Amino acid sequence: MNLRCESPVEQGYGAFIRIGGIAKMAESSLSKLSQQQHSYPLLLLSTAVAEALQSVPPPVPTYRSSPAPEKTKLQPVPKAQLAISAGAGLVVALLLYAVLLQFLGDSIALLGVALALGVSGTRLIQQFRYNRRVVALQRQYEWQLADYLQQEDQARAEHREQTQDREALLSDPRRLLAFRVGRLQPLFAEIQCLRAARLAQTRPNDAAESELLAQLQQEFPDRIHRGINLMIEGLAVECLPKIAYIDPQLKLHIAVEIDRAFDFDPMTGACEPRNFIGGTRNGEHILLDQNWVVLRFTQEQALNHPRSCAKTLAHTIASVTGDKQLFANFRTVPNLPVVPCWTAEQAMSMARSTVMLDRDSRPREDPNLRSRSDEPSRLRN
């Protein structure tokens, strides 16, 4: 899917973007635009490039606290209960000693006391160990809770910093543009093309191309090229942009095309409409698929307003790269007059008008001169 951006830079720079028939204004410098649709100059972008030019950092995920450590439900045995257990064990031992001493003798009584004290002591030892385990679990919980609170504070601070950084980036046009340029660089880095020397030295096809080429070479030295051939595997025919602007650092490639309304063959009188609304343009989809930016002018614009066309190109470059230094040379240059796009019927009507005007502008032969020129031949006969 490709995306068509129509009527850029009549009142500012950028492009009016139409995606799937729904008009949307880009949020970057592309927002200062003419809102006239179906008019030249036309700016065309691939979907990937258009999305990168409108991209913003993804929203920071909602902060969610991690589960807090669970506090142990065990409780230590109270000291009073331990004392009571110890006292009860001692009382039982004394009573047992008295009873056994009376009936079984001294030795058996002492043995019974020892047994009673052993049972009572074992129980006390178990209770003391239980208490130590509970205390250890409580201390472990306190350490885990302290670590958890520290990690939560750090995570909240990082989340707050990420949120503030995103808001600052969105409110700073320069940082936002740098973010978008970073998204564009991988797309432009994939473009591969070569310069065919034999094609670069050929003359322009017409006066409009000659005028525009000379003006662009003057305004953008070392960045305007002809004879640029795309290196695409399996491409059966050469795809040659008429004029190419190439930024060697960003790898931005802009194809500058000049559209004519019709082709006329003076030998046969045949006329064919070209570049009309709803028609196809040769090679355009190939350029867009390779993430080229395509900027189209009419013959009239290129021939009569070449410097205004250069200003439009400068605005297009700035809308992508943010390089506003290019504007310095165009402060006094008027904006490019807008030319409506044409239908096939309008193209044929323009062709008929042009042919009739061309015939009317030719010098007509004087019949008196023709009769005089025929007179000697009659005399000879």
Report angle CA 327, 332, 336 to the nearest 5 degrees: 80
Prediction pTM value: 0.67
Q: Which of 18-22, 149-153, 170-174, 307-311 has the highest mean pLDDT?
A: 307-311
Among 166, 200, 227, the domain-final residue is 166
Task: Confirm whether 69 is domain-assigned.
Answer: no
331: containing domain? 2-54+190-361
Task: Confirm whether 371 is domain-assigned.
Answer: no
The tally of domains found in the chain comes to: 2
Does one domain contain both 212 and 349? yes
Task: Confirm whether 368 is domain-assigned.
Answer: no
Convert the pLDDT of each residue in 80-106 to its tens digit: 776 777 676 666 666 666 666 566 666
Does one domain contain both 201 and 346? yes
Does one domain contain both 242 and 317? yes
Does one domain contain both 95 and 228? no
| 36 has pLDDT over 60 | no
Does one domain contain both 205 and 292? yes
| Residue with the two structure tokens 């669970």 | 70
Convert the pLDDT of each residue in 165-180 to its tens digit: 999 999 998 899 899 9
- The region of weakest confidence among 24-33, 142-151, 189-198, 223-232 is 24-33
Among 166, 182, 200, the domain-final residue is 166
Does one domain contain both 208 and 300? yes
How far, in Å, CA of 100 to CA of 106, rounded? 8
What is the average pLDDT value for the chain, to the nearest integer?
Answer: 76
Task: Confirm whether 174 is domain-assigned.
Answer: no
Does one domain contain both 42 and 84? no
- 279 is written with which tokens? 């028609």
Does one domain contain both 142 and 198? no
How far, in Å, CA of 127 to CA of 117, rounded? 15
Does one domain contain both 353 and 262? yes
How far, in Å, CA of 17 to CA of 33, rounded? 10
Task: Confirm whether 366 is domain-assigned.
Answer: no
Cis previous bond, 340, omega within 30: no
- The region of weakest confidence among 18-22, 126-130, 189-193, 290-294 is 18-22
Does one domain contain both 234 and 332? yes
Task: Confirm whether 295 is domain-assigned.
Answer: yes
Task: Confirm whether 178 is domain-assigned.
Answer: no
Task: Confirm whether 96 is domain-assigned.
Answer: yes
CA distances from 46 to 95, 315, 349 (A): 100, 18, 32
Does one domain contain both 291 and 334? yes
Does one domain contain both 228 and 149? no
